[in-house]
A and B are shown apart, each in its own frame.
Chain A
Amino acid sequence: MSKIGVFVCHCGENISATVDCARVAETSGKLDGVAYSVDYKYMCSDPGQSLIKSAIKEKGLTGVVVAACSPRMHEPTFRKACAEAGLNPYMCEMANLREHVSWVHEKGEATTEKAIDLVRILVEKVKYNQSLNAIKVPVTKTALVIGGGIAGIQASLDIANTGHKVILIEKDPSIGGHMSQLSETFPTLDCSQCILTPRMVEVAQHPNITLYSYAELESVEGFIGNFKVKIRRKSKSIDEKLCTGCGLCTTKCPVKKIPSEFNEGLGMRTAIYVPFPQAVPNKPVIDREHCTYYLKGKCRICEKVCPIQAIRFDQEDTIEEVEIGAIVLATGFSVKQPDFFPEYGYGKYPDVITGLQFERLASASGPTLGEIRRPSDGKVPQNIVFVACAGSRDEAKGIPYCSKICCMYIAKHAMLYQHKVHGGKSYVFYMDIRAGGKNYEEFVRRAIEEDGVNYVRGRVSRIYEKNGKLIVKGVDTLLGAMPVDIEADMVVLATAGVANSDAEALAQKLHVSYDAYKFFAEAHPKLKPVETNTAGIFLAGACQSPRDIPESVSMASGAAVKVACLFSQDELTRDPLIAVVNRMAPPVYSSCVGCFLCVSACPYQAIEKEEIKNRAGEVIKTLARVNPGLCQGCGTCVAFCRTKSIDLQGYTHEQMYTEVMALLNEY
Chain B
Amino acid sequence: MSGETQFFVELVSNGFLTGLMYSLVAVGFVLIYKSTDAINFAQGEFCMIAAIIVASTMTLYGFPLWAAVGISLIFMLGFNLGLERFVLRPMIGRPVVAIIMATIGLALMFRGLGPLVFGAETRPINLPIEQAPVIWGPFFMSQIDILGAAISVLFLAVFGWFFLKSRKGVAMRAVADSHQVSMAMGINVERYFALAWMLAGLVALLGGIVWGNAIGVDTQLAQLGLKVFPVVILGGLDSIIGCIVGGLIVGVCEAIAAGYLDPIVGGGTKDFTPYVLMILVLMIRPYGMFGKPIIERI
Do A and B belong to a common assembly?
no
